[in-house]
Amino acid sequence: MKLTQKQAPHGCTSADRHKLSRRSFLKGGALMLGASTLTIGAPQLIGCSTEPNENGPAPLNEVGASAVEATATESALPDGYQVVNADVLIIGGGNLGVNIALSALSEGREVTMLDKGVWRHSGVSGMSWDYFAGRYFTPAISYLGIENGKALTNALSFTKERDRYVYQVNHGQTLPDRDEKGQYLPFINENRTQGQFCRRHMDNLRTANGFGVDEQFMVTSLLIQDGKCLGAMGIHLPTGAFRVYRANATAIATGGCCWFYGWMTVGSYSINNPDNTADAEMAAFRQGLAIANSEFACYDLMSINPPGLACAFGGGIGADAQEYQFVFDNAGERLFSDDDENVSDRNYFNQFLAKAIAIDGRGTESNGVFLNVGDHGLRYGNARNVDLLERFGVGVRTDQIQIAPEMFEHGGSPIVDENMMTEVEGLFCGRNFPGGADVAGNYYYGLYTGHKIAEYAASQESKADGPSVNWEDVNVERARLEAIRTHRADDGVRPLQVRQMIQEAGFTGMGVYRTTELMEKSLAELRRIREDELPRMTVADSSLVFNTEWKHAIENYNLLDLAEMSVQASLNREETRGSYMRAEFPEKDNVNWNCVQVCRLQDDQMVFEKVSFEPLDASVLEQ
Taking CA atoms, 427 is separated from 94, 225, 287, 484, 520, in Å, by 18, 12, 13, 27, 34
Backbone angles phi, psi at 33, to 5 degrees: -120, 5
480 catalytically annotated: no
Give bridge partners of residue 414 from the DSSP assignment.
Answer: 291
Q: How far is Cα 277 from Cα 119, in angstroms, rounded to an integer?
A: 17
Taking CA atoms, 482 is separated from 237, 241, 523, in Å, by 14, 12, 29
Q: How far is Cα 2 from Cα 350, in angstroms, rounded to an integer?
A: 30
Give bridge partners of residue 535 from the DSSP assignment.
Answer: none
Give the Cβ contact number of residue 358 at 10 Å.
18
Using N-to-C axis directions, what is the helix angle for 548-572 and 471-486, rounded to 10°? 100
Q: How far is Cα 570 from Cα 573, in angstroms, rounded to an integer?
A: 5
Write the Ramachandran bin of 563: left for phi over 0, alpha for psi from -120 to 50, otherwise beta. Answer: alpha
DSSP secondary structure of 389-447: HHHTT--TTTSPEEEEEEEEEE--EE---TTSB-SSBTEEE----SS---HHHHHHHHH
Distance of CA 583 to the CA centre of its chain: 27
Q: Active-site residue among 246, 346, 478, 577?
A: 346
Non-local (6+) Cβ contacts of 396 within 8 A are 317, 373, 386, 389, 390
Q: Is the dihedral of CA 441, 442, 448, 452 positive or negative?
A: positive
Non-local (6+) Cβ contacts of 618 within 8 A are none
Give the active site residues: 346
